[in-house]
Amino acid sequence: MKTTIELPNDLLKQAKQTARAEGATLRALIEEGLQHALRAREQRKIVGLDFPTFGGSGLTEAFSEGDWSQLRNEIYRGRGG
């Protein structure tokens, strides 16, 4: 499929020079770059945060009715925080 895109002159010049130096076509270089960009975006969607657990069942009784400031104070107790 053919399409038209606008690129900054400096970027196009650099891409042509790179393609020429590698013995590739500008089209191949653009395809490679676009595939790389799409894969990178897809991987960002897949990556999730994995919060480890340690076999507990939530907060201890001492903190079950507490608020964030109580938890924070306990975490930093004795550490200058």
pLDDT given for residue 81 in this prediction:
57
Reduced to 3 states, what is the DSSP secondary structure of residue 54?
A: coil
pLDDT given for residue 33 in this prediction:
96
Query: pLDDT digits over 23-72, tens only?
Result: 999 999 999 999 999 999 887 776 666 666 677 777 777 777 778 888 88
Cβ(25)–Cβ(16) below 8 Å: no
Q: What is the pTM of this model?
A: 0.53
| Enclosing H/E stretch for 10 | helix 9-22
pLDDT given for residue 73 in this prediction:
86
pLDDT given for residue 53 in this prediction:
66
- pLDDT at residue 74 greater than cutoff 70: yes
Q: Which of 3, 62, 71, 70 is nearest to 31 (CA)?
A: 3
